[in-house]
Structure 1
Amino acid sequence: MIEMGEISITHDDFFHLARLAIAGQEDDVRLFVAKMVRRHRTDTPDFADRLEQLLKNQRNARSSTPLRRSSFDPAPQQSMPVDGETRLSLFRRYEDQVEQLEPLLSASLQQSFMQLIRERQQIQRLSELGLHPTRSAIFLGPPGVGKTLTARWLAAQLQVPLLVLDLTTVMSSLLGKTGANLRSALEFAKQTPSVLLLDEIDAIAKRRSDDSDVGELKRLVAVMLQEVDDWPASGLLLAATNHPELIDPALWRRFDLVLEFKLPETKQIKQSIERFAGDESLLIGRWLDVLSYAFQGASFSDIERTLQRFRRTLALGGPRLDELVEDFLRTRMPELNKEQRKAFAVLLAEKTKLSQRSISEITGLARDTIRKQGALPIQADTSGGKK
C-alpha cells in the first residue's frame, strides 16, 4: 500500500498505471484514471475531483491541438518483423479503401460491427465514462464465409491497415524456439495503428496434443493469454477460426466479443450471385431463383468460384449459359434429400422452360413423381420422349 497524504493506492494499482505509462498507452492511462475517479468519488471526493480535473485539462489540451492524435493516428513507420530464418515477413498487410469492400453480412452481424465502429468513433466519450471500446473479437465460421474480407472492411472503416498473422504458417518456425517471432509480431501490432487479425488461431490448440514439443506450445498459449488480456484500447485484436471446439477454454474467455459467421441464407445468396455475375448479371439473372436454391449450403467463395467459371466459359465462346447451369445443377443434387429435390423440381418447372424429361434428369426423380407435385403442368416434351 502506498500512502499519499490521506489517500491509499495499492501496489497493484500503481504498478498497472506505471506499466501503461511506460508503454505509452495514453488512452489506457486515461481509462484507468477515470476508473480511479469513480472508485474514490465517495470515500475521498477531493482526490476524485482533482483526478477528474486532470482529465478535463488534458482533454482540453488535446482538443486545442490542430493535429492531435486519435486512437488510430499514424505513428512513425517501423520495420515489419520477419522470421529469423527465412527473413520473410510475419504479416500480410492490407490497405484498402472502404468502397473497394462490402461484405455480405447478416443483420445481426451488421449491427455488431456498426456498434464496434461507433465505439471507435466515440472513444473519447467512453473514456470520460471510465469505459473502453471493444478491444478484441473472435470470428467463428467455416471457410469462405467472409471472415477475412470483413476484417479488411473493418480496418478500412477505421482508416488503418489490416495486419494478418497466419498462425498455421508462423507456428512451424516457432516450434522448438522461444516464441520470439510471435512476441515481436504482437509487439509490432500493439505499437502500430492497425487492426491485427490472428488467422487460424486454433492452430495453437490443435498442436497442443503434439507430443513433440508440448512444453513450447503451452508457453505460446500463455503468451497469447497475456497478450489478449493486455491488448491496448487504442488497438483492435481480431482472431478467426474454423474450429472453435479446439480453442483452449482459457483463451476463449479472454475475447470481448464472439461473432459467428454462418453460411449465407437465401437473401445473401441472391445478393452474392448478383455481385459475382458482373457484366453477365442480366443473363445470369434469369436463373437467379434456381441458382439461389441450388447454392443452399454453399459458401460465398463457392458461389464466386462457380460464377467466375461461368463467365470465363462464356467469354471464350464455350457452351451456352443454360447448359452450364444445367450441368452445375446436376452436381448439386447429391446435397439434397428427396423432399428437397421434389421442391426443386417444382421450382424448375415454374421458373424455367425445361422439359419434364430434363427436370427428371437433373433431379433424379421419376417423371411420375414430378407430375404428382401438383404445381407442374403437363408439358409437351420437346426432347422427343413421351409426356
Structure 2
Amino acid sequence: MEVEGKTDELKDLEADFANLVLLAAAGSSEDLRLLLAKLVRKYRARRPDFAERINQALKSTQTRASGPSVLRRGPTAPEASPLPMDADSRLSLIRVFDDLAGLEAPLLTQGLLKQIQSIVRERRERDKLSAHGIRPTRSAILVGPPGVGKTLSARWIAAQIGKPLWILDLTTVMSSLLGKTGNNLRAVFDHARANEAVLLLDEIDAIAKRRSDESDVGELKRLVTAILQEVDAWPDTGLLLAATNHPELVDPALWRRFDVILTFEQSDPSTIEAAVRRFLGPDAPAYEPFLHLMASSMHGHSLSDVERAIASMRRDAVLNGVAPADLAVSLAAQHIDRLDKPAKLDLALQLARANGMSHNKIMALTGVSRDTIRKYAGPSPIKGRGRKKEG
C-alpha cells in the first residue's frame, strides 16, 4: 500500500510538471504564476519544503518580471495584470479600488482606528516580525451596520500598505450552477494569493451562511466549507478582509478563521460633526456657526447618510444661492423626526441661540414649547411675531 501511495504521488507530480511545461512553452506567464500558486497551496501540507521552494521561485519571477505587475506600486498596477473573469459572461470577478494616490483616514472611534493602524504597521514591518518568528495579521473581519465606513476602511488599509483593494464581486461570482460558483471563488483566491493582494470579501454572509441553515442546499454548504479552507490556507504575504452587516448569519466556524474582528458602531456626535466638516470641504468656514446644529440634526445617521445630505445641501447653495443659515435649518427640519426628546431640546436651543428663527418657528419645528426655549435660551431676539412683549 505504501508503494502504491508513492506511485500515485509520483504520477501527481508528473502531471503537475507536464502542466508547467505546457504553460511555459506557450509563454503564458500569468497562467504559469497562477499554477505555481496553486501548487504552493497543494503541497504545503504534504511537502512543506518543496512548497516553499515553489513559493520563493514564484516571488522571484514576479519581482524580476520585465513588464508591469500588480506587485509593483504605481497608479497602473490594477490594469497591469489580467483579473480573473467569469468564463461565460466574461465579466471580472473582482472590483478594484486604486487609492494609491492617497485617501483620508476613515472617521472612526479612536479604539477602532488604533486597531486598524496596528494591522497596517504589521504589514509594513512584516520582515521585522518574521525575523522573530512572528506572523503578522493575515486576516480581519469587519462587522457593523451599513454606512459606518467598513469598505472605506478596507480601501484605506490597502492604500497605506501600497496596494489596490480587490473586492470579490458576488454578483458575478454567484451562479445558478453552484459548481461554477466554487470554481469562480477558487480563481479569485488563487489570483489574489499569487499577487499578494489585499482582498475584501464583501457581504460575506451571502456566501458563508451557517451550515445549519436548512434552507440551503448541500452544494451551498460545501461551498461554505471550501471558503473556510481558503481562509485557512491564506498566506502571510497577502491580507484577507471580509465585511458583513449581518454577523448573525455567518457560519460560526468562520469567526475562528479570522485573526482579528473589527467592530464598527454607529458614529457618536463628535464623529458626526467631524464628518460634516470634512464633507463640507472648502465651504466649511461659511458653515462654522452651524456645524454643531447640523451634526445634532444628523444624530443616529450613518456617515454615508451624512455625506449625501451635505452634498445635496452644497448643490442647493450653489444652484439656488441659499444662505448657510437657511440650509442648516432646512437640514435640521429634514431629520427632526428621528431625534429623541433630549436631542430635540438641544436642537431647539441651538436654533434659538443662532438668532435666526423666532421661538414660534422653533416650537413648530421641534415640538419644544416656547416657555422651555425661553427658560434655557432667554427671550427671542426676533422682533414681531414669535416674541413676547417684555415687561
User: Same fold by TM (over 0.5)?
Assistant: yes
Partner residue of 2:150 out of 135, 147, 150: 147
- Alignment partners' CA distance in 2, 1:377 and 1:25: 75
How much does 1:349 deviate?
Answer: 2.2
**Aligned positions of 1:284-323 closer than 5 A:** 284-323=287-326
What residue ranges of structure 1 are gaps of 5+ in the alignment?
1-11, 29-61
Partner residue of 2:133 out of 130, 143, 146: 130
Q: Is residue 298–residue 332 contact of structure 2 (8 Å, CA) maintained in 1?
A: no
Structure 1 residues 358 and 125, CA gap change in structure 2 (3 angstroms)? same
Give the match's secondary structure for 2:377: coil
How much does 1:379 deviate?
Answer: 1.6
**Aligned positions of 1:1-387 closer than 5 A:** 15=46, 17-18=48-49, 20-21=51-52, 24=55, 73-74=71-72, 78-97=81-100, 99-167=102-170, 169-172=172-175, 175=178, 177=180, 179-206=182-209, 209=213, 211=215, 214-371=217-374, 374-382=375-383, 384-385=385-386, 387=388
CA deviations 1:72-109 (Å, max 9, x no partner) are: 95499642111122110001112212533332222112
Give the match's secondary structure for 1:286: helix
Structure 1 residues 13 and 160, CA gap change in structure 2 (3 angstroms)? closer
- Alignment partners' CA distance in 1, 2:50 and 2:271: 46
How much does 1:340 deviate?
Answer: 2.5
Amino acid corresponding to residue 379 of structure 1 in structure 2: S
RMSD: 3.0
- Alignment partners' CA distance in 2, 1:320 and 1:21: 65
Q: Is residue 293–residue 344 contact of structure 1 (8 Å, CA) maintained in 2?
A: yes
Amino acid corresponding to residue 380 of structure 2 in structure 1: Q
CA deviations 1:43-66 (Å, max 9, x no partner) are: xxxxxxxxxxxxxxxxxxx9xxx9
CA deviations 1:128-177 (Å, max 9, x no partner) are: 22211000000111111111111111111111121011335522456363
Give the match's secondary structure for 1:315: helix
- Alignment partners' CA distance in 2, 1:146 and 1:375: 37
CA deviations 1:151-210 (Å, max 9, x no partner) are: 111111111121011335522456363610111011110111320011110112459647
Give the match's secondary structure for 2:262: strand
How much does 1:366 deviate?
Answer: 2.5
Structure 1 residues 375 and 14, CA gap change in structure 2 (3 angstroms)? closer
Structure 1 residues 131 and 172, CA gap change in structure 2 (3 angstroms)? same
- Alignment partners' CA distance in 1, 2:82 and 2:346: 58
- Alignment partners' CA distance in 2, 1:178 and 1:246: 20
- Alignment partners' CA distance in 2, 1:323 and 1:210: 54
Amino acid corresponding to residue 24 of structure 1 in structure 2: N
Amino acid corresponding to residue 92 of structure 2 in structure 1: S
Quick check: 350-359 or 195-204, which moved more?
350-359
Q: Which residue of 2 aligns with 1:43?
A: none
**TM-score, L = length of structure 1:** 0.78
How much does 1:23 deviate?
Answer: 5.3
How much does 1:25 deviate?
Answer: 6.2
- Percent of pairs with identical residues: 44
Amino acid corresponding to residue 48 of structure 2 in structure 1: L
Q: Is residue 178–residue 216 contact of structure 1 (8 Å, CA) maintained in 2?
A: no
Quick check: 164-173 or 226-235, which moved more?
164-173
CA deviations 1:269-288 (Å, max 9, x no partner) are: 22211111123212222211
Structure 1 residues 167 and 18, CA gap change in structure 2 (3 angstroms)? farther
Q: Is residue 103–residue 159 contact of structure 2 (8 Å, CA) maintained in 1?
A: no
Structure 1 residues 370 and 240, CA gap change in structure 2 (3 angstroms)? same
- Alignment partners' CA distance in 2, 1:305 and 1:378: 35
Q: Is residue 360–residue 370 contact of structure 2 (8 Å, CA) maintained in 1?
A: yes
- Alignment partners' CA distance in 2, 1:356 and 1:16: 79
